[in-house]
Amino acid sequence: MTISDSPRNSPLGKATSFPNAYDPTLLFPIERRKMRDELQISGTLPFFGLDIWNAYELSWLNMRGKPQIAIMTLTVAATSPNIVESKSLKLYLNSFSQTKLAGTDAVLELLRADLSAAFGSPVQVSLTLPDAFPSIQIQELEGMLLDRLEIDVDQYSPSPSLLKTVQGEPPVEETLVSHLLKTNCPVTGQPDWASVQIQYVGAEIRQDTLLHYLISLRNHDEFHEQCVERIFMDILRECKPQKLAVYARYTRRGGLDINPWRSNFSSGQRPLYIRNARQ
């Protein structure tokens, strides 16, 4: 397993033969540090958080050769040294498809060991088996919808200077939501679509400027995790809220969705794990 600084020079984003035997070397870690250097994040992180992955295409064989299926949920701390490129995770999970394993405990043992090694720190992994599929819920992120605003837009590259606060008014506590976040994969150029929730306490953020700002990311190439950290840092620097949390739920691609959450305050609760209608 090699950590690379140049995903475009890797096999990622190119035609690939899918593996037919378990192979943890397919995982492709990428250091968070270099992405955070680009965002001018150094020293103690100004946030804590999680990356929540859901994998819908996990399958393996039982000891009699019969296929088994499950939905995997992977939770990674934002303090982990690495992210893992999503196509490499898809290839890794597909390498289980013709592998005989003695039950879900054996599957979980491999997943936890391999993914902890790739991310560079312990991860949490759980499996939802078919008998629990009927209990899976769909729910939208709570908050006031920014998309209701009728605005003219002509900026489609990251523009934090768009963000403005209302001057001379007391602090507010708000939760705002938009379904219009879209960026591009820096490896393949494919579009990544997301709903984003922004919770904050501080000077009131002008909602039209926040929506303009989110739309300005539309042509930007960036990994999901880095994009959420960019949004967090831009709002923190431009609007200076006392409390801030940013949570994005990305639509599924390659059988995977990735849902980064970053916050600088604790409510005692983790973000909503329930997928939304587009996932």
CATH code for position 69:
3.30.1130.10
- 157 has pLDDT over 80: yes
Q: What pLDDT score was predicted for residue 162?
A: 97
What is the number of other CB atoms lying within 10 angstroms of the CB of residue 113?
Answer: 14
Same domain, 79 and 177: no
Same domain, 116 and 201: no
Residues labelled catalytic: 185, 192
Q: What pLDDT score was predicted for residue 270?
A: 81
Same domain, 11 and 127: yes
Residue 276 included in any domain? no
Q: What pLDDT score was predicted for residue 208?
A: 98
Residue 1 included in any domain? no
Residue for token digits 């690379």?
Answer: 4
pTM: 0.92
Same domain, 159 and 243: yes
Same domain, 162 and 106: no
What is the number of other CB atoms lying within 10 angstroms of the CB of residue 170?
Answer: 7
The C-alpha atoms of residue 189 and residue 193 are separated, in whole angstroms, by 13
Distance of CA 34 to CAs 5, 19, 37, 90, 118, Å?
Answer: 8, 30, 5, 23, 17
- 10 has pLDDT over 60: no
52 dihedral zone (left: phi>0; alpha: psi -120 to 50; beta): beta
- 15 has pLDDT over 70: no
In tens, the pLDDT along 173-229 reads 999 999 999 999 999 899 999 999 999 999 999 999 999 999 999 999 999 999 999
Same domain, 154 and 89: no
The C-alpha atoms of residue 58 and residue 94 are separated, in whole angstroms, by 7
Q: State the total domains in the chain.
A: 2
What's the rounded mean pLDDT across residues 50-55? 98
Same domain, 112 and 199: no
Residue 268 included in any domain? no
Taking 3-state DSSP, the helix, strand and coil percentages for the chain, each rounded to the nearest 5, stand at: 25, 30, 40
Question: Using alpha carbons only, how large is the chain's radius of gyration in Å?
Answer: 20
Residue 131 included in any domain? yes
Percent of the chain with pLDDT over 70: 93
Q: What pLDDT score was predicted for residue 3?
A: 54
Same domain, 14 and 131: yes
The C-alpha atoms of residue 84 and residue 86 are separated, in whole angstroms, by 6
3-state secondary structure labels for all residues of 212-247: HHHHCCCCCECCHHHHHHHHHHHHHHHHCCCEEEEE
Distance of CA 147 to CAs 136, 170, 196, 229, 278, Å?
Answer: 27, 25, 11, 22, 16
Q: What pLDDT score was predicted for residue 143?
A: 97
Residue 279 included in any domain? no
User: Residue 272: pLDDT band by 50, 70, 90 thresholds?
Assistant: confident
Q: Name the residue range of residue 150's domain.
A: 144-263
In tens, the pLDDT along 91-148 reads 999 999 999 999 999 999 999 999 999 999 999 999 999 999 999 999 999 999 999 9
Same domain, 168 and 249: yes
The C-alpha atoms of residue 82 and residue 84 are separated, in whole angstroms, by 7
Residue 215 included in any domain? yes
